[in-house]
């Protein structure tokens, strides 16, 4: 019998180390108040970064939302369609501006972390929770020149910077649904900054399959360690460790008690050398995915990625900035999937990238920026991506016009995959074994009008295309054809804010179709949303917060049984 009322226990303790606002931070600040760090995107400089038009979800916004997982937060971002196979912890796909689920590149502090052990090298958003994250950044549209291959429809960056506000939080409605999180930072006498944040969440409310009697829950553990130290007046060391483990129950036709374990861990270290007009950064990164799904048989996925990146950013003058650098990425994967639809792959690939950017202020109201990148892939050869932008300020109106491209190299399954153990395909299913990359183009016109410090209106019109998309032409043919897809849309928002409250209204009109005009599945054409956040002070209850999110998603084509229909 479903409970009509639940008792919610919520304890929130703050033990703050007073910290400065982001924009007032000095790069080196040992003796004074600790500084919160702000992330700088790869292949940018001071002028070019301001042209990116990113959407930022801060730590405060995550806390105010009341959500525990990444999926729930992203559901309310205009231009992003989120689809899950069930409740919290189930497989979740992101479709950014109508592109496919494997067209969004996911990064950790600017370094790609898409799972090369999955058949499409996509990122599953159902397994990540918010406890270890400090900030989430969304970059819409082709972003290959900024972040590298796979940012063909956009990019999402997870930031794990040091949080200087010590805190602990416990939330529970019953023994099946609860969470705990915390953050602690300690500064040693010799200048080391140590920070650890993380938590655990459990949710077990409904079955992934409506006809199943069992409850399919999820348990997540997320931990993040950050450290930094100034080795000299100009040289800083930074280190990050991130790990999360998610265990999820789900339903299969053959096993209603199927379960999965998804483990991901990453290690990053960097050196930053800063002078008055120059910043040099060298970053090393490694991450591993280790996934096991226990169905009728155990299916295992394992992948490793190693990355190195060196970059220089230069402020030549108040009107000119530029940057350049290079990165190298090595991917290795091995997955074995058995049963009726089994498939497998084992192999590796690598990529060398060289990038540059330049920004120029013609005057106080007009800015031009250019990003370029060249990639040399083991199988796909050489490819070039770019981004052009012009920004114009007219009193309170900001206009931005941009054109950008992206590239996605074939993933390990496409290069090495097959299905020797499949009873359904009987050995006939093969990957396309192509080396041809997918490419994308996005054109965008954005306008933002600030009526006052409290009221603003923004709108973005875009049109994009993705060419040579790998596709399954029939149920047993494998990835044996390519097609082109096209996207267009209009995203609008209205925002009112003051010291105590913020309300945001959003509306999205979009269309995504194949080259022959056939609509893409799971791409709704109409959406609108409302977000209200307030800090209120009542004589009866004292100070309390309120957060309300609502999003309406229109009809979209999807499979209903074996038939394509429009459904909600």
Question: What does the alpha-carbon distance between residue 294 and residue 258 come to, in Å, rounded to a whole number?
Answer: 6
Question: What does the alpha-carbon distance between residue 322 and residue 67 come to, in Å, rounded to a whole number?
Answer: 39
Question: What does the alpha-carbon distance between residue 564 and residue 556 come to, in Å, rounded to a whole number?
Answer: 10
Q: β-strand 111-112 against 135-140: which pairing, if any? A: unpaired
Question: What does the alpha-carbon distance between residue 432 and residue 429 come to, in Å, rounded to a whole number?
Answer: 9
Burial of 546 (0-12, 13-18, 19+ CB in 10 A): exposed
Q: What is the pLDDT of residues 278-320, one digit of tens each?
A: 999 999 999 999 988 876 677 888 999 999 999 999 999 999 9
- Give residues with Cβ within 8 angstroms of 453, minimum separation 6: none
The pLDDT of residue 561 is 63
Per the CB < 8 A criterion, the answer to whether 182 and 167 are in contact is yes
The pLDDT of residue 256 is 63
Question: What does the alpha-carbon distance between residue 409 and residue 443 come to, in Å, rounded to a whole number?
Answer: 22
Question: What does the alpha-carbon distance between residue 485 and residue 97 come to, in Å, rounded to a whole number?
Answer: 12
Per the CB < 8 A criterion, the answer to whether 139 and 145 are in contact is no
556-561, long-range: CB within 8 Å, 24+ apart, which pairs?
556/81, 556/519, 556/521, 556/522, 556/523, 556/524, 556/525, 557/519, 557/520, 557/521, 557/522, 557/523, 558/521, 558/522, 559/521
Residue with the two structure tokens 């009193």: 395
Q: Smallest Cα–Cα separation from 11: which of 179, 195, 204, 199?
A: 179
pTM above 0.85, yes or no: yes
Which one-letter DSSP state was computed for residue 126? G
Q: Smallest Cα–Cα separation from 391: which of 414, 363, 417?
A: 363
The pLDDT of residue 7 is 32
Question: What does the alpha-carbon distance between residue 567 and residue 142 come to, in Å, rounded to a whole number?
Answer: 29
The pLDDT of residue 444 is 98
Phi first, then psi: what are they for 72, rounded to 5°?
A: -65, -35
Phi first, then psi: what are they for 414, rounded to 5°?
A: -60, -35
Q: What are the domain boundaries of the chain?
A: 9-567
Estimate to the nearest angstrom the gap between the alpha carbon of 411 and the chain centroid: 19
The pLDDT of residue 300 is 86
Phi first, then psi: what are they for 254, rounded to 5°?
A: -95, -15
Number of neighbours of residue 18 by Cβ within 10 angstroms:
8
> In the numeric block, which tokens belong to residue 361?
């202020």
Per the CB < 8 A criterion, the answer to whether 487 and 99 are in contact is yes
Question: What does the alpha-carbon distance between residue 224 and residue 240 come to, in Å, rounded to a whole number?
Answer: 7
**What class does CATH assign to 9-567?**
mainly beta
Estimate to the nearest angstrom the gap between the alpha carbon of 506 and the chain centroid: 20
What is the enclosing helix (H) or strand (E) of 202?
strand 193-203
Number of neighbours of residue 300 by Cβ within 10 angstroms:
16
> In the numeric block, which tokens belong to residue 141?
């549209």
Question: What does the alpha-carbon distance between residue 304 and residue 299 come to, in Å, rounded to a whole number?
Answer: 17
Residue with the two structure tokens 């060391």: 237
Q: Smallest Cα–Cα separation from 77: which of 523, 440, 508?
A: 508
> In the numeric block, which tokens belong to residue 282?
């060298």
Question: What does the alpha-carbon distance between residue 388 and residue 360 come to, in Å, rounded to a whole number?
Answer: 12
DSSP-assigned states of every residue in 346-414:
EEEEEEEEEEEEEEEEEETTEEEEEEEEEEEETTTEEEEEEEEEEEEEETTEEEEEEEEEEEE---HHH
Per the CB < 8 A criterion, the answer to whether 457 and 397 are in contact is no
Could you tell me which residues are beta bridge partners of residue 490?
Answer: 461, 509
The CA angle 200-303-414, to the nearest 5 degrees, is 130
Question: What does the alpha-carbon distance between residue 97 and residue 81 come to, in Å, rounded to a whole number?
Answer: 8
Q: Smallest Cα–Cα separation from 408: which of 158, 156, 155, 128?
A: 155
Per the CB < 8 A criterion, the answer to whether 467 and 483 are in contact is no
The pLDDT of residue 18 is 46
The pLDDT of residue 478 is 52
Could you tell me which residues are beta bridge partners of residue 529?
Answer: 506, 551
The pLDDT of residue 67 is 81
* DSSP-derived 3-state class of residue 541: coil
Q: Greatest CA span in the chain, whole angstroms?
A: 72
The pLDDT of residue 212 is 52
Question: What does the alpha-carbon distance between residue 78 and residue 282 come to, in Å, rounded to a whole number?
Answer: 34
Q: Which segments of the chain have a pLDDT < 70?
A: 1-39, 86-87, 89, 119, 205-216, 251-257, 295-296, 339-343, 418-434, 471-481, 560-563, 567-568
């Amino acid at each position: 019998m479903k409970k009509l009322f639940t008792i919610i226990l919520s304890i929130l303790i703050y033990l703050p180390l007073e910290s400065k606002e982001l924009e007032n931070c000095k790069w080196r600040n040992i003796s004074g108040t600790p500084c919160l760090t702000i992330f700088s995107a790869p292949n940018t400089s001071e002028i070019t970064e301001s042209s990116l038009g990113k959407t930022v979800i801060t730590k405060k916004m995550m806390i105010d939302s009341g959500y525990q997982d990444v999926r729930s937060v992203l559901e309310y971002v205009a231009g992003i369609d989120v689809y899950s196979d069930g409740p919290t912890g189930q497989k979740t796909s992101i479709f950014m501006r109508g592109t496919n689920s494997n067209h969004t590149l996911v990064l950790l502090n600017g370094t790609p972390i898409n799972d090369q052990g999955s058949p499409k090298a996509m990122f599953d958003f159902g397994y990540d929770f918010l406890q270890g994250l400090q900030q989430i950044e969304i970059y819409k549209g082709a972003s290959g020149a900024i972040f590298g291959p796979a940012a063909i429809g956009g990019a999402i960056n997870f930031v794990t910077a040091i949080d200087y506000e010590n805190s602990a939080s416990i939330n529970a409605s019953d023994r099946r649904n609860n969470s705990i999180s915390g953050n602690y930072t300690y500064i040693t006498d010799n200048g080391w900054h140590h920070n650890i944040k993380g938590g655990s969440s459990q949710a077990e409310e409904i079955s992934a399959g409506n006809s199943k009697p069992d409850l399919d829950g999820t348990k997540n553990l997320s931990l993040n360690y950050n450290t930094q130290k100034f080795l000299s007046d100009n040289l800083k060391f930074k280190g990050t460790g991130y790990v999360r483990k998610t265990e999820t129950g789900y339903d299969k036709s053959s096993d209603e008690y199927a379960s999965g374990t998804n483990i991901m861990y990453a290690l990053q270290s960097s050196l930053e050398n800063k002078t008055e007009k120059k910043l040099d950064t060298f970053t090393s990164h490694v991450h591993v995915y280790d996934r096991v799904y226990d169905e009728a048989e155990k299916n295992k996925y394992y992948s490793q990625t190693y990355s190195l990146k060196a970059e220089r950013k230069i402020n030549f003058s108040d009107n000119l900035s530029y940057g350049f650098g290079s990165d190298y990425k090595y991917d290795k994967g091995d997955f074995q999937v058995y049963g009726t639809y089994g498939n497998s792959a084992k192999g590796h690939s690598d990529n060398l990238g060289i990038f540059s950017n330049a920004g120029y202020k013609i005057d106080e109201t007009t800015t031009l920026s250019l990003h370029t990148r060249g990639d040399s892939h083991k199988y796909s050869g050489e490819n070039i991506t770019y981004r052009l932008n012009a920004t114009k300020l007219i009193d309170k109106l900001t206009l931005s016009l941009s054109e950008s491209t992206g590239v996605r190299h074939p993933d390990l399954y496409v290069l090495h995959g097959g299905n020797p153990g499949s009873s359904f395909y009987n050995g006939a299913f093969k990957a396309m074994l192509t080396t041809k990359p997918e490419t994308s183009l996005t054109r965008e016109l954005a306008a933002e009008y600030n009526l006052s410090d409290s009221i603003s209106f923004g709108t973005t019109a875009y049109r994009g295309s993705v060419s040579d998309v790998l596709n399954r032409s029939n149920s047993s043919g494998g990835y044996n054809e390519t097609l082109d897809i096209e996207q267009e849309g209009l995203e609008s928002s209205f925002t009112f804010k003051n010291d105590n409250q913020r309300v945001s209204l959003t509306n999205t009109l979009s269309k995504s179709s194949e080259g022959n005009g056939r609509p893409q599945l799971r791409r709704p054409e109409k959406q609108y949303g409302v977000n209200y956040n307030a800090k209120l002070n009542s004589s009866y209850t004292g100070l309390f917060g309120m957060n309300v999110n609502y999003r309406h998603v229109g009809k979209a084509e999807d499979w209903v049984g074996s038939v394509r229909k429009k459904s909600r």
